[in-house]
Amino acid sequence: MDTLKSLLKEMEQEAQTTEKMLSRIPDDKYQWKPHPKSMTIEQLSSHIAELPTWVPLALHTDELDFATSPYAPKKIANTAELLKFFEDSLADSYANLQKADVNTFDEIWTLRNGEQILTQRTKLEVIRMTYCQIVHHRAQLGVYLRLLDIPIPGSYGPSADDLGL
């Protein structure tokens, strides 16, 4: 399987799991967080939903500079809005990835804050990092849901809740 087909397949598979996890969030828990240093469910889930937008960002730009493009998270009020935001982010990402020129995958992409370089990676590595970030934050969300006694869907097989344990 070539790189592009592999990336598209992985995006589809992870999207299904991510959508299941996001769909479990009760509308009345968006301001909840497990610890003062933690993000709220709104902050965490909206970040998960927006992460697919990093794929076209990596494909069509050479950098993101937080000094000139400050981060402004999307405000999400409920799960219906969240799922729509994720669906739109994912559709745009998938469409851009389908048309990607694999010859650009080895070009360097930079994340910076002014003069401070936060990371420099190939565009392919940024896409893979984006997928990893989705999985990482989705796992965090799973902990939040578990602490709220909300059943967790399986990710790569059935969860204890799926098995009725």
Pairwise CA distance, residues 105 & 108, whole Å: 8
pLDDT digits (tens, 9 = 90+) for 24-42: 999 999 999 999 999 999 9
Mean pLDDT along residues 88-114? 97
**pTM attached to this predicted model:** 0.95
Mean pLDDT along residues 76-84? 97
According to DSSP, the β-strands at 63-65 and 108-113 are parallel
Pairwise CA distance, residues 12 & 96, whole Å: 14
Could you tell me how far CA 42 lies from the centroid of its own chain? 13
Could you tell me how far CA 22 lies from the centroid of its own chain? 11
pLDDT digits (tens, 9 = 90+) for 106-147: 999 999 999 999 999 999 999 999 999 999 999 999 999 999
Mean pLDDT along residues 57-63? 97
Residue 70 banded pLDDT, cuts 50, 70, 90: confident
Residue 71: its pLDDT value, please?
Answer: 87
